[in-house]
Amino acid sequence: MSTSSSLRQSQAARPDSPHTPQQQLRSGNTSFASNTSPGSSFRNEDDAIIFEIGARWLRAGFEGSSSPVCVVGFGPEDSRRAGDYRGWIEGGSGARPSAQPVDAEDWTREYELWRLDLRQTDLGLVEDKIERAFRETYNQYLLTDAGTSRLVLVLPSLMPHPLLSSLLSTLFSRWRFPSITLLPSAPMSATAAGLRSALVVDLGWAETITTGLYEYREVTTKRSTRAMKAVLQEMGRVLTSVASSSGQDGASTDEISVGFKYCEEIVSRLAWCKTEAQNEGNGHLNQNISIPSPTNPEQEFIEVPFSRLAEPVEKALFAPDVPESELDDEEKSIPLLVYNTLLALPPDARGTCMSRIVFVGGGARIPGLRQRILKDVSHLIDQHGWSPIRGKVIERQRQRLAELRISTPINGENQSTPTDTASSPEDEKPDPSKDEPEIDFVEQKLRRQNKDTPVPVQGILREVDSLGAWAGASLMTSLKIRGMVEIEREKFLQHGLAGGTRDSEPAPDRRSGLRAGDRSSWTLAGWA
């Protein structure tokens, strides 16, 4: 009896088939540093969903992942109705017939979710596009119910309030999100690079935004309209002129007759930036390359000089033929924009940020662009230093002071004669008190105490790679760090953006015992 009972106990303890324990199966989501796909492991139900929204693209995924699950674009192909066959009529390349040239602004309008100039933006249409993009993202890629998980939005700080209000109103009214957390894109890009202080250069679609961060706080922000939209329009003009020179009907300088998708593909594959040595001219850069024809890309090819594919980047982002005095504050070249942002920072923050320059955005992928920007910024520093005073009068005064230093003897003494220069060997001995540096005992004590502490890099121009704003937001959200801007559903539907306070910590009300502004206890922080 003992043998049979022990056998039954061993069979009951041993499972019929291999299995994974339930605790290990749902132990967590994808590791942030793993190289596997985000959907390769199981996800907890309480994991937040992160959306990064821009004027051209929407990225979505779960917290803790190193990359988003999907990237959704905005365009006529993504907003077609039933029975709309324009995508098949015009062809898969999106080439536009050369007989229909359009204006450069109208050429890009239908591929944008919004424009910063709200006078030409239909906010109702923007809300409908946002609703459709979110619905398709949840149903096709995330495969979860909208409104059941926490929602985190990564947005640029320089966002108009009507656009922000339309975005939040659409999400709160169409779905039952209990709350929405807003995270700024610039600090998230620095977080993805492992930095607390940095100069983030976002080469985006409509604008290039430079943000100086010090200990995760935005110290100064500057922007310029020289961005990828201008590069794409210039490339469209170049391809239009190339197509017209090959025997096709031409268009005016402000009109474009090539397809948007075709031009965007050329920019992503063949656009490049010249360096200083290449600006002088090299023979191999003038060689012709074959690219698909804008009108018939599947059967015909045209010859284009390789150097011409660098002209749009040079003209749109650097403005080489326009003097600095004729440029407005919103259309500065990218090197000048970076230099002015560093110049606006305090000296201690400047030394830290200039050694931690982070390039993000679609323009950061253009070959040679980041190296060219750093070289031009270094040239501006050597030319002007860190003085904001400029002008011809200042340059003349500097030249006069330099001439006076050369012509005037040291200590105001006259030049010595040959008889005065004769001296004894004892007089020629150097004075040891003048050559030896002054000893700082406090500095020496600190160095002895912090021998193993690495010295931070400061004062030199250096680039640091980043995984992007979405990856930084995924890392911050997985650490369960509470965001500065957490908007609750009921309070937003009751008061809108007007319910957000400007101060993150309002003063308490002594009479009621509650904080003054408890009716609207959330803050817009950087979006105020």
Q: Please list, in sequence order, all residues whose beta carbon lies within 8 angstroms of the beta carbon of residue 220, skipping any fewer than 6 positions away.
A: 211, 212, 341, 344, 345
Determine the length of the chain.
Answer: 528
> Is 110 in contact with 75 (CB distance < 8 Å)?
yes
CATH class of 28-74+111-193+467-527: alpha beta
Write out the residue limits of the CATH 3.30.420.40 domain(s) in the chain: 28-74+111-193+467-527, 195-225+330-405+459-464
Architecture of domain 228-318: Alpha-Beta Complex (3.90)
> Is 242 in contact with 308 (CB distance < 8 Å)?
yes
Instruction: Report DSSP letters for 325-339, one per residue.
Output: GGS-GGG--HHHHHH
Residue 12 half-sphere exposure, CB side, CA atoms within 13 Å?
Answer: 6
Q: Where are the beta strands (DSSP E) in 149-275?
A: 151-155, 179-184, 198-203, 208-214, 217-224, 255-256
pLDDT at 226: 95
> Is 127 in contact with 495 (CB distance < 8 Å)?
no
Sign of the CA dihedral 406, 410, 412, 416?
Answer: negative
Q: What are the 10-residue block averages of pLDDT along the chain, 528 residues in total?
A: 48 46 40 44 72 94 93 81 66 50 88 88 91 93 86 91 92 91 94 96 95 94 95 93 65 76 93 74 73 82 91 93 86 95 94 96 94 95 87 83 75 46 46 59 74 79 95 93 85 82 46 40 72
Task: Say how far apart CA 472 and CA 187 lie, in whole Å.
Answer: 8
Write out the residue limits of the CATH 3.90.640 domain(s) in the chain: 228-318
pLDDT at 504: 44
> Fold for domain 195-225+330-405+459-464?
Nucleotidyltransferase; domain 5 (3.30.420)
